[in-house]
Amino acid sequence: MRFLLTNDDGVDSPGLMALAQAISELGDVAVVAPEKEWSGGGHSITIHKPLRIREREAPGERIRVWQCSGSPADCVVIGVFDLLPEPPILVISGINLGPNLGEDLTYSGTVSAAMEAYICDLPAFSISIASFHGPRWEVAAEVAQRLAKLLIGFPKRLLLNVNVPNCSLSELRGVALTRLGRRRYRERLTKGNDPFGRPYYWIAGEPEVEENGEGSDSQALEHGFVSITPFFLDLTDYTMLARLDPLRKELAQILLPS
Ligand code: MN
């Protein structure tokens, strides 16, 4: 049995290597990861230029590592359709440096790689550690290993987003099944002038939790729980679909010549 691993922090991320080592205790591991960082790269795929891969030295016997010039989603495609001799039993993306909560899922290359696996009909989860400073990789790697063990043989339409509090294993309060909360960024745009006097913009801001109510991913993390959110790619707003229903007739006629 074989696992496919990727991330968006790049092939040299210690989080990815900690994950590879932990998962290799369960089976063979193929790592296909971007050669550079893709954090914030979302579900990008490369369609206008060729991609290159290069095999790297592996940190363990049951591990093979390839770096790829493309995005995390590209890595999944290349792993699944070429590098692996058979479909992986599970695709894991991470361990990401920093949490991926609420709206982050739309920006995250880590989560998007898991989405790509889901599109390829493979069970997948993304995993992130909830701190940018002093990440306890070994704790998130242990969580990933235990979760992977549990998920072996699970139905293939499975897509989970996992966040692990940055504490020791014994300090974890448990595991919570959660829904996505809301998280936005404030002061997200900085404008300045470069040395040539031309304006530049820099997008970066502090995340602000807008909604961390009962059952949300943010709340679980705040309370010291590993957060597991099952999700899918149906972005339909069913409430709005129902609210717009009375306009169905008018909408149908909106483009017809009167
Ligand atoms: Mn990242």
Q: Which of 211, 199, 203, 209 lies closest to 187, judged by CA?
A: 203
Q: Are strands 189-193 and 90-97 parallel, antiparallel or unpaired?
A: unpaired
pLDDT exceeds cutoff 90 at 187:
no
- How does residue 74 score in pLDDT terms, banded at 50, 70 and 90? very high
Q: In 82-110, which positions are buried (b, 16+ CB within 10 angstroms) versus exposed (e)?
A: ebbeebbbbbbbbbbbbbbbbbbbebbbb
Residue 154's pLDDT is: 84
CA of 101 to the centre of ligand 1 (A): 12
Residue 217 lies in a domain: yes
Give the distance from CA 202 to its chain's centroid. Answer: 23
> How far apart are the CA of 108 and the centre of ligand 1, in A?
7
Q: 119 or 156: which carries more pLDDT confidence? A: 119
Q: What is the distance in A from the centroid of ligand 1 to the CA of 68?
A: 16
What was the pLDDT predicted at 210? 72
Q: Give me the pLDDT at residue 107, please.
A: 94
Give the pLDDT score at 153: 83
How far away, in angstroms, is 198 Cα from ligand 1 center? 30
Q: Does some domain include residue 31?
A: yes
Q: What is the pLDDT of residue 188?
A: 83
Tokens 């970066």 locate to 204
**Share above pLDDT 70 across residues of the chain, in percent, rounded to a whole number:** 100
Is the pLDDT at 186 greater than 90? The verdict is: no
158 assigned to some structural domain: yes
pLDDT at 184 > cutoff 80: no
pLDDT range class, residue 140, cuts 50, 70, 90: very high
Whether residue 91 contacts residue 114, with contact meaning beta carbons closer than 8 Å, is answered with yes
CA of 133 to the centre of ligand 1 (A): 13
C-alpha 77/C-alpha 66 separation (Å) is 13
Q: Residue 202 domain-assigned?
A: no
For residue 97, the model assigns a pLDDT of: 98
Alpha carbon of 245 to ligand 1 centroid (Å) = 40
C-alpha 243 to ligand 1 mean position (Å): 37
Domain that holds residue 36: 2-182+212-252
Cα 225 to ligand 1 centre (Å): 21
Distance 41 CA to ligand 1 centre (A): 9
In angstroms, the CA 31 to CA 7 distance is 9
Expressed in angstroms, the distance from the first to the final Cα of the chain is: 63
Q: Which of 52-61, 107-116, 208-217 has the lowest mean pLDDT?
A: 208-217
Residue 95: asked if its preceding bond is cis (omega within 30°), the reply is: yes
Return the pLDDT at 10. Answer: 98
Residue 161 domain flag: yes
Query: How far is residue 26's CA from residue 39's CA, in Å, rounded to a whole number?
Result: 28
Average pLDDT value for residue range 2-12:
98
The alpha carbon of 161 and the centre of ligand 1 are apart by a number of angstroms equal to 14
Share of the chain above pLDDT 90, in %: 87
The answer to whether residue 66 is domain-embedded is yes
Q: Summarize pLDDT for 193-252 with one digit per residue, the tens.
A: 999 999 999 998 777 777 788 999 999 999 999 999 999 999 999 999 999 999 999 998
Domain of residue 103, CATH code: 3.40.1210.10
Burial class (CB in 10 A: 0-12, 13-18, 19+), 133: exposed
Ligand 1 centroid – CA 8 distance (Å): 5
Number of domains in the chain: 1
Does any domain span residue 190?
Answer: no
Determine, yes or no, domain membership for 205.
no
Report whether pLDDT(47) > 90.
yes
Stated length of the chain: 258
State in Å: Cα 241 to ligand 1 middle: 34
Out of 1-5, 75-79, 163-167, least confident range: 1-5
